[in-house]
Every structure is written in C-alpha cells, then in structure tokens.
Structure 1
Amino acid sequence: MKEGFRQSMAWLHTWSGLLVCWVLFLVFFAGTASYFRDEISLWMKPELHVAAATPVPAVQAVDNAIRMLEKEGAGASRWFITLPDDRNQALGVTWIAQPEPGKKGRGKLERAQLNPATGERLAEVRETRGGEFIYRLHYDLHYMPAIWARWIVGFCAMFMLVAIVSGVITHKRIFKDFFTFRPKKGQRSWLDAHNAVAVLALPYHLMITYTGLVTLMFLYMPFGIQSAYKGDEKAFNAEAFRQAENKKPAKIAAPLAPLAPMLLQAEKQWNGGPVGRVTINNPGDANATIQITREKEHKLSSTRQSMQFDGVSGAYISSIGDETSTAVEARGVLYGLHIANFANPLLRTLFFLCGLAGCAMVATGALLWAVKKRQGYAKELAKGGRIGFGLRLVDGLNIGAIAGLPIAMAAYFWANRLLAVGMEKRIETEIAWFFIAWGTAAVLAHIRPNRRMWQWQLTAGGLLFALIPVLNVFTTNSHLGVTLLQGKGPWAVAGFDLFALGFGLCLIYAARRLGQKKAVAKAKAVEKPVEKNRSETDSSLQEAV
C-alpha cells in the first residue's frame, strides 16, 4: 500500500459513496417518507377523512364486516378484515372473488372501506397505492422484477455501509468537525455540511443500513439454509416462521361460528392486546378456519402473535408467535428497528428527521465530489473551455436525483387529486405521473447541467409542494381551513399539508440562495478586471513620475 491507511480509506469512502449515491438518495428519500406511509395513504384518500373517529369495540366492527362480506363476498375463498387503529380510522375488508365463468386461475382481489360503527360502505374511495407505493419503491424500485431490484438495493446498501465505516476512519477529527461550519467557503463549506449531517445521525445511519441488509439476508446469503436444510427452503420457513395451516375446502356448506368468543379469547391470551386483523379461510365451508392476528404493538420486534380457530365449531386450534427462538426474535427486532412500527408519533418524527439527515448526507457527498472536481477545470473554464464528460454526467445525475425527485413526488400527489376518482387504471396512472415527471427532470438536467437548471428544478419542486394545500381547497373538503382552523377531520391530514407547505418553501429558499450566489460571483468577476486595470494604471503613473 503506497499511500497511508487513512488516505486509502478516503479513496474508498469517496468512490464507494459516489458510484451508488443516486440510488441511495432514492432509497433514503422514499424510505424516510415511508415512516408516515399510513398517514400519506390517508391523505391520498380524502373520502376516508369523514370516517367515524369514535372508537368502536373490535367485536362490533368485526360483526359489521362479516355482515357485509356475507352479502358481497359470498363464494370467496378468503376474507380479510383489517380493524381500525390509531393511524387508520376506517374498517377495511378484502376478499378474493371467484374467477369469471370460463376463466381459470385466481379471482380478482376486491376491497372496500366501511364505517366501523355502522358497517356501511364509505363514499366511493379513489383507487391509489398511497404511501405503500413509496414504501415499496425504496426497495423494489418499480418497473423491474422485484428480485433484481432487491439485489440492486442490497448492493448499494453494502456500499453505503463501507462508505460510513471508511468515512469514520478517514475523519480523525470527526466529532470536532461536527461543531465546525464555515459558510461561503466553497468546497470547505460542503465538507463541513457533509460532516455535520453525517455525525448528527451516525448511529441511525449505521442502524438503518445494517438492518436494511438484515431484512433480506436470506436472499443475499442463502448458503447456510441450503446446507442445513439440504435445499428445502419450505422446511426452513416452516420451522423459523411458523404459519397457520389452511385446509382445502370440503365443498360442504356450513355456517360460520360467532367470532365474539374467539376475539375475547385472543385478547385474554394477549393480556388485553388488541386485535389487528381477522382472516377467514373457506368461509361458509365445513373446513373454514379463522386466524386472528394481534395489532402492531409499540415494541421493537416485528413478530406478531396470532391464534387459529375452527371456523364452524369455534374450537381453538393453535397459537403462533407466543414463543419464538432467539434467532427469530433477534431478526424480528432488527427488522422492527428498520420499519419502526413500534414508534409513537414523537419517536417516528425523530426517525423521520434522521432520515432527512441521511438524504442530506448523501446529497452533500455527491455535490462535494463535483465541487472538488470542478476546481481542476478552473483554468479551462476561465479560458472559455468546457468541463469533462465525467463531471458533466455527475452534475446531470445530481440535479436529476436531488432536485428532480421532489418534483416527481409532488407530481404523484397532484395526480392523486386531479385524476378522476372513477377512472380505469387509476393506480397505474398516478404512478406513471411520478416517473414521467422524474424522467423529464432527469433529461433536462443532462441537457443543461448548470446552476440555472438547479434553480429551475428546485423552484418547480418547491412550488408544486407549497401549492398542495391550495390544491386541496379546490379538490377536497378537508383542507387546512377545515382541519387546522376548525379542528375537523384527522390531524394527520393537516400535518401532511403543513409539511408540504414547509418543504416547498425550503426548496424555493434554496433556489433563491443559488440565484444570490450567482449574482455575487458575477459581481466579483466584473470587479477583478477593474482592479487589474487600476493597478496597471497606477504602476504606469509611478513609472511616468
């Protein structure tokens, strides 16, 4: 090793971060938003904003759902009932309808949102993936096979882990530099900003990267399972992640047993823990089974308890998740840390802020490389030359990812409000507008990868976000004038609008600051020739004297 160890780590830190930073920015950006994916989904379904806010006992809500499913889901192979919780006030029902006559395969998945107190369907709810699209985007990337996307994201996450460790080794004064920020110093300022946001949430960055890899560790490292179980992955899953056994339909009609005793028994078994979901397999059949799953609790592990009952007699069959192995529980804790379902609103907000710091860390790292590289072209630029292809490519990718992604996200929310509620393929169209807006921003960024393009795209993203509350005034009855001023409707809806307004104003402020820096740079460029001429004049006068 010709260079010192720290210099080698600096090289590793630079390139391990740069090569994957644009994918990492998407992963961080979408993953950070996913901490509030339930709230985003609620905002994107304004028809649910009038759902009853008064808590309803689980028994009453389930009975209402069963009555509705017996009418509209008769003949279905499976019913799903999702009970309201503190983040979703509607009662959700889903069933797998029978395939149309003459068609083979699985039937269509039907959904409905009910008022938990009455069991009545809520107003026609627009079809949307809501926050679930953003959540899956951060590891499935969309428009490609999921297995490919997860390998790509895992590869980038490993690079991220290497970049974090090598970055800590490289900066021997990392904690001292955390308290140092020198504005208006070019490369030095970007480095100070990068150090600050990196150290501010360093434990979070290490945790979220490592646990992200752990969530898919069986995909990346399947060799131990293949060796221990002789390639039988089903046997491993049955032992490690025990699932309820579902019987095949007997094709003999039989009434469904009352669910109230089963729900009470489950809550007693869980020491008062609330029910989150009820799954009924083969409803109306002699082989019907009922699985009751506990609601997501405020605990670290993502492992959820459930109980299975006979659907006809109501007899208890088995429990799952009451006792788990140390390995399974450890994996559940690491996965739970990553998705943060255990967090209360305040802690979830802290996770969200740490995620934003991660976005800033990736963005400032990418910009720092470009700023440093541009210094090598200073003389050529002064002579009217052009920067190299590599730097131009990185500039375009930086603009398209960092400034273009907020444009795409805002376009997704605007499409949710502007597309007709009952249009066909509405979900696909909303998502298409996300990628259309992002693709347009990326193409324009590569055509003109300069400061002016940064200003345009930051301003566009800022305006689109800042005007979302205004858009709500014309498209919904749950705008800030109602949710904030009158105190009606879910607070999550008001919170989303306020964040959109604040985030939009931050983007506009950043664009304005870029414009001011450009004006200062032009002024300095004009002053230098004037000062040079003055000095030449003064020297000639002295010679004349």
Structure 2
Amino acid sequence: MKDSFFRSMTWLHTWVGLLMCWLLFLIFFAGTISFFRHEISLWNQPAVHSIDNKPTDQKALISAGLDYLHEKAPEANRWWIGLPSPRQPEVHVSHRHSQPDGQRDKWIDERLDPNTLTQVDGIVDTRGGNFFYRLHFDLHYMDRKLARWLVCLASLFMLIALISGIVIHKRIFKDLFQFRPQKGVRAWLDAHNLSSVLALPFHLMITYTGLVTLIFMLFPGPANTLYEEGVKGFRSDFYPERQGIEKSEQTLNSPAFENAFAHFYHNWPEQKIKRVIVDYPTDLSATIKIYGDNGTLIRDEYPYWQYSGSTGELIKTARLDPSGGEVLYGGMIAVHSGRLAHPGLRWLYFICGIAGCVMIATGCIMWAKRIRERLKPNQSPSFGLKLVEALNLGTIMGLPLATAGFFYANRLLPAEVTGRADKEILAFFLIWLAATVTAGLWRSRRAWQRFAHLNAAVWLLLPICNALTTDGNLITYIMDGKWILASFDLTFLATAAVFYMQGNKLGAQPNTVKQGSVQNRRLGREQKA
C-alpha cells in the first residue's frame, strides 16, 4: 500500500489497467465489431445481396425448407432452418451428417431465396461476423476453457480499473468537457478521461454483464449445491432443448409436420418463429423443435416448443413464462450482446465500444510516454518499456489493419479454395503478426504515422475492391435502398479518413521531449494534490 488511499487507488488503477490492456483491447475491439456480426455475415456473402428483403409467409418458407431438406438430405441426423430477418434476407438451411470412427459430425450449409424458394448459387465458405463474436471470448487458436478463464480474468481487471478510476477522478464532470490537444501527456490523459467518462455507464454495464455470461464458470457453487450433476445438471434443466435424444433405429417414412405446426399456430397464432430444428427426421424418435423470435425483448434465449416427429404431439415447452431469475439472467446476457437492439441502438453500442477501445489505447500509450519522458538524455529504455511500446503499436494499429485484411481476403480468395473460411481468419492473424513484428523492430513516432497512413490506404481501397469483385457499389446500394451494404462502404471511408487525419497529426507534431517532461512533472504534482 502507498502512503494514502488516493495514491493506492492510483497505483491499483495503473497496474490492473496495464497488465491486461492488450488483451482487453482485443476483447473490446472484437466485441464492438460483433455488434454487427449478422451484417458482416451478410456482407461476406455477395450471392445473397440481390435478394429483396420483403415480408414473407413463414408457414410457406418452413414448408419449403422441410421439403428441400427431405429431398436433399434425408439421411441427415439433423435439419436446421433459419428464417429471414432484416439482417439476414435468405432462408438458411443446414443439415448435419454423422461421421465414421467417432469424428465430429459434418454440417453442410445452404441458402434459399425466400421469393423463389430456390437455392442461391455462389455461396462461399466464410465465418462472417461470427469470427469476431467468437474471437472476443474464445480468442481462437486456443483451448476454449483456458481462453474463457483469461477473458474472465481480464474482465475482472477491467472492472477494478473502472471502479478505481472513478475513485481517483476528483474532477470527473469537469474532465467531461476538457480536452487540450498539443499538450503532450496531458492531451493523452484528457483523451483517456473523455473516452472513459462519456461512455462510463456502457463500460460498467458491458464489463459486468460480460462476467455474468460466464458466471457459472466463475462461481459454480450454487449449481453444485442445487444439482447432483452440478453445472451440467443446471444446464440440462435450463436448456432442455440442448439435451440429446437416443435414436430408435426404426424408420419414419412420413414425419408429422402438419400436425405439429397446426397445433403450434392454433395455440400461439401471434408468435413469430426464429428457427426450426428437426432431430433424426427419418427415425421414429424424431423431434421437431420450434424456437420463437424475441424481437426487441430484453431476453437472451428464445421460447421453445418440442413436438414428437412421429405423432405431432407437444412434448415440452421452455421459457414461455420465464421466472424472475430467468428474466434477470437472460436479460443481462441480452443487454451484453445487444441482441435486443434496433439499428439505432446498435450504432450507439458500436460508438460506445469504440470509446472503450480509445480509453484502453490512450491508457497504454500514456503509460509508455510517461516512462520514456522520465528517462535521462543518456539513459537507454528498459526492455519492459520497449515491450510495452511494441505491443501498443502492434495491437492498436495492427488490429484494424488485420480486420481490413479479413475483408480483403473474403473478396479476393477464390470461392473453390479448400478451407476458405479458415484462410480468411489466417489472413487476419498473419497480418496482425506481421504488424506486431514490425512494431517490435520499429517503434518510433514515424512508425505510428506510417501505420496510420497504411490503415487509411487499405480502408479507403476496400469499397473499390468490393465494387470490382461484386455486382454492387456504394451508388447502387443507395439507389436500391440497400442501406446495410451502403453503410459498410461509408464506414470504410470514415475509418480511412480518421486514420488519414491521425497520420497527418502525428507527422505535424514535433517530438518535444523536454516540454513533455515539464508537463509530465506538472501532471504528477496535480495528481498528488
């Protein structure tokens, strides 16, 4: 402990923020992008861009999807039908097939045009926005359990940093209206304070609810107390639709789809359907699972109905009338993921997420600048300072560059390439690795400027690449009213403009170490006061 509570909180805020800041930046960055994961998945599939997103009859689409799967994959052990939405205009049909020798079952995904009920040609293998969604808590290329423990630890550090930051901000409301550029470290502190305070409710909410999503991994005690099988028993009770069924090995020639859906529509005529899953569709043990659409309700899991595939009788339901605990738990997860959000609220989530990235980035940079400006003229920087500077540059500038590379890979990789989705992801990580290695070798102010201009160039050329490799461009998107696709080109151009201005600013500012040292000492005196 330091000699005062304030200094102890300052020390705590600095070190819990620094130790996990690069992992936190990745989590915030990928999580922010994943608020538009369905839109990214749409952009990554140019074949579905021409589909008109018109109101459609769900009954007809479900019937067409079942007929298509019955003809295309009668031997599959699961059928999956996802119905169109404003963020996904096509009917998503998938079928899963058992593999020999205990290998993992194989999924085959296909898309249908809801207007013609025919298969969409030209679908490419891509993870789309789901890559960023999974990256922000599974970290990719890492054991899933270890990754989630690391994410939980980073989130706990983030929560401590936020609370201690509130404690040490004596002028929290004044900082909200204060930004002084061209002031060395003081400018970075102002940017850090501004991005922190402006979106502080969002930062607290997204960090705390992120911990709630993995709460039973962190605190399994209540589940272990109430259930003999612990967390596994809790999940089987809370998620009955995820429990497997045993195959009877008796053939079912004609599943009772009509009886099941007639009962459903008779009893819940106003309920929209999100998806339909059929397990073992040609076996006597077949089950029909119907998932309702929550719309903009603050709920995470969907209401659920399970019917017998052989008789069409209702077997069980779940979450039709959730308890208070289910509403609270599911509501926190829904608020974290933004699944409840309409487009305007989703953009607000995105902007607040960007503010979180700025908060983390400015904190990292400010720490390194303070240490460097305290060095004596003949003193060499330590290995720790060099490492922090390299990680700052490689992460803060490398991740946007790698994200642009992911989009380029989606447009430029041939459709017939084996493992195409994995190669898109590989491009992302190779570019990030190259940026980090470059940052380790070259960490000067000029390197930041070059990375900013490089980011500006690649993001500026993305709309051109899209126009040359697809049948659409910004002008046609606007003329056809395809605002989701148009927003991508506009966002790419805005991102390029931000990086271009940043690069010019870095080139225009002199490296006034002496002036910065004086400001840093003054800042230290202010914090001690």
TM-score range, shorter chain: over 0.9
Q: Which region of structure 1 is more displaced relative to structure 2, 270-279 or 348-357?
A: 270-279
Partner of 2:23: 23
Partner of 2:505: 513
Partner of 1:205: 203
Partner of 1:145: 143
- Secondary structure of the 2:180 match is coil
Amino acid at match of 2:473: H
Partner of 2:9: 9
- Contact 1:229/1:235, CA 8 A, preserved across alignment: yes
How far 1:243 sits from its partner (Å)?
Answer: 3.0
- Secondary structure of the 2:248 match is coil
Change (3 A) 1:85 1:285: same
Partner of 1:448: 442
Partner of 1:427: 421
Q: Select 2:354's aligned residue among 353, 356, 359.
A: 356
- Secondary structure of the 1:283 match is coil
Partner of 2:527: none
Amino acid at match of 2:26: L
Partner of 2:480: 487
Give ranges in structure 1 of 5+ residues lacking alignment: 526-545
How far 1:130 sits from its partner (Å)?
Answer: 0.6
- Contact 1:263/1:275, CA 8 A, preserved across alignment: no
- Contact 2:53/2:86, CA 8 A, preserved across alignment: no
Cα deviation 1:391-423 (Å, max 9, x = unaligned): 221111110010111111001110111100111
2:485 pairs with 1:503: no
How far 1:455 sits from its partner (Å)?
Answer: 1.0
Partner of 1:408: 402
- Contact 1:68/1:119, CA 8 A, preserved across alignment: no
Amino acid at match of 2:19: L
State the percentage of identical aligned residues: 38
- Partners of 1:332 and 1:270 in 2: CA distance: 22
Change (3 A) 1:270 1:19: farther
Partner of 2:319: 321
How far 1:62 sits from its partner (Å)?
Answer: 1.0
- Partners of 2:487 and 2:266 in 1: CA distance: 36
How far 1:371 sits from its partner (Å)?
Answer: 1.7
- Contact 1:263/1:292, CA 8 A, preserved across alignment: no
How far 1:264 sits from its partner (Å)?
Answer: 5.5
Q: Select 2:431's aligned residue among 437, 445, 451.
A: 437
Amino acid at match of 2:507: G
Partner of 1:543: none
2:380 pairs with 1:386: yes
- Partners of 2:198 and 2:13 in 1: CA distance: 18
- Partners of 1:470 and 1:306 in 2: CA distance: 44
How far 1:367 sits from its partner (Å)?
Answer: 1.1
Partner of 2:81: 81
Amino acid at match of 2:381: I
2:236 pairs with 1:238: yes
How far 1:505 sits from its partner (Å)?
Answer: 1.4
Partner of 1:529: none
- Partners of 1:230 and 1:291 in 2: CA distance: 27
2:333 pairs with 1:339: no
- Contact 2:220/2:231, CA 8 A, preserved across alignment: no
- Contact 2:259/2:311, CA 8 A, preserved across alignment: no
- Partners of 2:2 and 2:21 in 1: CA distance: 28
Partner of 2:57: 57
Amino acid at match of 1:61: L
- Secondary structure of the 1:435 match is helix
Q: State how many pairs are aligned.
A: 515
- Contact 1:139/1:153, CA 8 A, preserved across alignment: yes
- Partners of 1:104 and 1:15 in 2: CA distance: 47
2:412 pairs with 1:418: yes
- Secondary structure of the 2:12 match is helix
Structure showing greater Rg: 1
TM norm structure 2:
0.93
- Contact 1:47/1:125, CA 8 A, preserved across alignment: yes
- Contact 1:61/1:117, CA 8 A, preserved across alignment: no
Amino acid at match of 2:480: G
1:41-190 alignment to 2 at 5 Å? 41-99=41-99, 103-190=101-188
- Secondary structure of the 1:323 match is coil
- Partners of 1:104 and 1:178 in 2: CA distance: 58
TM norm structure 1:
0.90
- Contact 1:255/1:312, CA 8 A, preserved across alignment: no
- Contact 2:398/2:435, CA 8 A, preserved across alignment: yes
Cα deviation 1:486-521 (Å, max 9, x = unaligned): 326x32111111101111111111011100113x75
How far 1:2 sits from its partner (Å)?
Answer: 4.7
- Secondary structure of the 2:111 match is strand
How far 1:124 sits from its partner (Å)?
Answer: 2.1
- Partners of 1:32 and 1:473 in 2: CA distance: 26
How far 1:263 sits from its partner (Å)?
Answer: 3.9
- Secondary structure of the 1:308 match is strand
Cα deviation 1:300-327 (Å, max 9, x = unaligned): 1213101111212222222111133322
- Contact 1:451/1:514, CA 8 A, preserved across alignment: yes
- Partners of 1:388 and 1:317 in 2: CA distance: 67
Partner of 1:266: 264
Change (3 A) 1:313 1:117: farther
How far 1:104 sits from its partner (Å)?
Answer: 4.7
- Secondary structure of the 2:275 match is strand
- Secondary structure of the 1:400 match is helix
- Secondary structure of the 1:279 match is strand
